Amino acid sequence: MTFYQKLKDRWQAHNTLVCVGLDPLPEQFPATVADAPNAIFAFNRAIIDATHDLVCAYKPQIAHYAALAAEDQLQQTLDYLRSQYPDIPILLDSKRGDIGSTAEQYAREAFERYGADAVTVNPYMGWDTIQPFAQYRDRGVIVLCRTSNPSAGELQNLHLDSGEPLFEHVARIAARDWNANRNLALVVGATAPAELARVRQIVGDMPILVPGLGAQGGDAEAVLQAGLNAQRDGLIINSSRGILYASQGNDFAAAARHETETLRELANRYR
Amino acid sequence: MTFYQKLKDRWQAHNTLVCVGLDPLPEQFPATVADAPNAIFAFNRAIIDATHDLVCAYKPQIAHYAALAAEDQLQQTLDYLRSQYPDIPILLDSKRGDIGSTAEQYAREAFERYGADAVTVNPYMGWDTIQPFAQYRDRGVIVLCRTSNPSAGELQNLHLDSGEPLFEHVARIAARDWNANRNLALVVGATAPAELARVRQIVGDMPILVPGLGAQGGDAEAVLQAGLNAQRDGLIINSSRGILYASQGNDFAAAARHETETLRELANRYR
């Protein structure tokens, strides 16, 4: 099953647009988990078991593992997901951006070593960056377009001499030139609903990964109205820390479930 | 000693602008190395021992280790460099691009886990991407500006409504807004000498990492004339595969030394 089919099934059959980011910060784990062997995997497993029926995807952010030399616990987490919940797509958030033979190595890392269903990629180096990932036809390539951070507009909102801002140009070439295998998606932050509406207009039904609706404070109604496609889906609404660290006590998994349910209901209210 | 001081010392006291990229591809190793335990480290060590007096830096490209789950052999390589050749700066080529807390994790990975002197970073998300690296004042942050790949111009050469192309704008804000700690550098490919000359004009003495003079075929005289700063240095001329795989026989280390010498002489001829 392709990335897109898996996602579509979760959006529709499971009625959820919510993606939980798996960004482990051991200093925020409850002490009982932090002191266990393989604490990161133990934490992730508890979060996954508590939220799996509520999500359309999980998104591990690879820096959180790399900084701690915890690649093995990332692998354990992905193996666990695949064995227990094989129909949930895994988005590896690594924002890779390199070319040719090096991008091929990154694609091997994401799709072969880790077996991810999709990976985030930075478009600054053009098609050469995208192609080695996009040639895996059953996997997804999620291209940064308009991100949610304060300085996102510093480059992305620059106006080109054609009159359009850079992020719109990225959306346009992603949809027109880079999507021959129909496996592209984009990242557009919830902090920019007007930009999200423009991107949706440009890319049709393409999936859009939307960070920033939780902790970063985007407005749910504006985001949903701007971002839904004609099928009333097409959005992957990600929250990481707002869910993972809703409680730092021993009830962290139950608190994570509660936050995930709240976000799912919030999104579905405007769907 | 800061990244910049280490580099300056190699440029001047060792009279070399050449950087060797450590991009291991085990399928291109001679059989005697490929079959050894820790083949990647053994290969890197032989290359390093054969070229250390000829280089201004080494640049391991992290995807080549990540694809093979060989983080341990990257670490062994860096430990070996630091113990044997502590005055040679290590540039970790990972082209990271993320924000805030995630960029902090990537900075921990590069500077604390691996102890690199500098790291390559993608500017598409703006200052939020750069800042967590730049705050390590003794380390270098090498920002992608105008890369050497065929599709580099797809975004980087787009003209803004101000009239300047995007890569020039990146060079301008890197020099003007992002360099308070004087630890920035840029990437500009040897395949674009006219663009390199424009960038040098904009950024003054800032170091520029130049891939593409070897295998990718840039013209040495044009590149040196375009890229040297007022001190007749300021360039880190990288070659990876052209040096590493000059021979795939048991003479690979001697062949790598020969290629490195040739590139050093070629660069110094126009210096």
Reported as a single tens digit per residue, the pLDDT across A231-252 is: 999 999 999 999 999 999 999 9
- Model pLDDT, residue B214: 67
* C-alpha torsion sign, points A244, A245, A251, A255: negative
Mean pLDDT check: name the lowest of A35-39, A55-59, A196-200: A35-39
Q: What are phi and psi of A188, to 5 degrees?
A: -135, 125
Q: How far apart (Å, rounded) are the C-alpha atoms in residues B140 and B151?
A: 26
| pLDDT of B216 over the 60 cut | no
Cβ of A160 within 8 Å of Cβ of B161? The answer is yes
- Indicate the pLDDT class of residue B252, thresholds 50, 70 and 90: very high
| pLDDT of A179 over the 60 cut | yes
Chain A residues in contact with B98 (beta carbon < 8 A):
61, 63, 95
- Model pLDDT, residue A171: 98
Nearest to A233 by CA among A36, A17, A25, A76: A17
* C-alpha torsion sign, points A61, A63, A68, A71: positive
Nearest Cα of chain A lies from the Cα of B13 at a distance, in angstroms, of 32
Q: How far apart (Å, rounded) are the C-alpha atoms in residues A102 and B43?
A: 18
Q: Does A201 touch chain B (CB under 8 A)?
A: no
Condensed to tens digits (0 to 9), the pLDDT of residues A113-137 reads 999 999 999 999 999 999 999 999 9
Angle between helices B220-227 and B193-203 (to 10 degrees): 20
Annotation marks residue B95 as catalytic: yes
Nearest Cα of chain B lies from the Cα of A231 at a distance, in angstroms, of 30
| Residue A58 near residue A48, CB atoms below 8 Å | yes
Nearest CB to B66: which of A64, A109, A152?
Answer: A109
The residue of chain B with its CA nearest to that of A23 is B102
Q: Which of residues 205-244 of A touch B (CB under 8 A)?
A: 241
Cβ of A155 within 8 Å of Cβ of B170? The answer is yes
Cα-to-chain-centroid distance, residue B127 = 21
Look at chain A and count its residues: 271
| Residue A20 near residue A240, CB atoms below 8 Å | yes
Cβ of A155 within 8 Å of Cβ of B166? The answer is yes
- Model pLDDT, residue A212: 85
- Model pLDDT, residue B212: 85
Q: What is the DSSP string of B49-86?
A: HHHGGG-SEEEEBTHHHHTTT-HHHHHHHHHHHHHH-T
| Residue A90 near residue A62, CB atoms below 8 Å | no
What DSSP state is assigned to residue A158? P
Q: Does B191 touch chain A (CB under 8 A)?
A: no
- Model pLDDT, residue B215: 52
Residues of A with catalytic roles: 95
What is the ipTM metric for this complex? 0.95
Q: Does B70 touch chain A (CB under 8 A)?
A: no
| Residue B85 near residue B56, CB atoms below 8 Å | no
Cβ of A71 within 8 Å of Cβ of B67? The answer is no
- Model pLDDT, residue A61: 97
- Model pLDDT, residue A100: 84
Average pLDDT, chain A: 96
Chain A residues in contact with B69 (beta carbon < 8 A):
71, 113
- Model pLDDT, residue A248: 94
Condensed to tens digits (0 to 9), the pLDDT of residues B130-180 reads 999 999 999 999 999 999 999 999 999 999 999 999 999 999 999 999 999
Nearest Cα of chain B lies from the Cα of A114 at a distance, in angstroms, of 9
**Which domains does chain A carry?**
3-269 (3.20.20.70)
Average pLDDT, chain B: 96
Q: How far apart (Å, rounded) are the C-alpha atoms in residues A257 and A260?
A: 5
Mean pLDDT of B18-31: 97
β A184-188/A91-96 pair status: unpaired
| pLDDT of A215 over the 80 cut | no
Q: How far apart (Å, rounded) are the C-alpha atoms in residues B4 and A171?
A: 38
| Residue B239 near residue B213, CB atoms below 8 Å | yes
Q: How far apart (Å, rounded) are the C-alpha atoms in residues A202 and B46?
A: 52
Cβ of A125 within 8 Å of Cβ of B98? The answer is no
Q: Does A123 touch chain B (CB under 8 A)?
A: yes
- Indicate the pLDDT class of residue A217, thresholds 50, 70 and 90: low
The neighbour count for residue B112, using CB atoms within 10 Å, is 11
Q: How far apart (Å, rounded) are the C-alpha atoms in residues A196 and A225?
A: 9
- Indicate the pLDDT class of residue B100, thresholds 50, 70 and 90: confident
Angle between helices B193-203 and B166-176 (to 10 degrees): 30
Look at chain B and count its residues: 271
Query: Within chain B, where are the H helices?
Result: 3-13, 31-34, 39-51, 63-66, 71-84, 100-107, 127-134, 153-156, 166-176, 193-203, 220-227, 241-244, 252-269
Nearest CB to A155: which of B102, B108, B126?
Answer: B126
Mean pLDDT check: name the lowest of A215-229, B25-39, B60-74, B77-91: A215-229
- Model pLDDT, residue A213: 86
Chain B residues in contact with A161 (beta carbon < 8 A):
159-161, 163
Q: What are phi and psi of B188, to 5 degrees?
A: -135, 125
- Model pLDDT, residue B35: 92
Chain A residues in contact with B112 (beta carbon < 8 A):
67
Cβ of B97 within 8 Å of Cβ of A100? The answer is no
Percent of chain B whose predicted confidence (pLDDT) is above 90: 93
Where b means 16+ CB within 10 Å and e means fewer, A49-75 reads ebbbebbbbbbbbbbbbbbbebbebbb
- Indicate the pLDDT class of residue B218, thresholds 50, 70 and 90: low
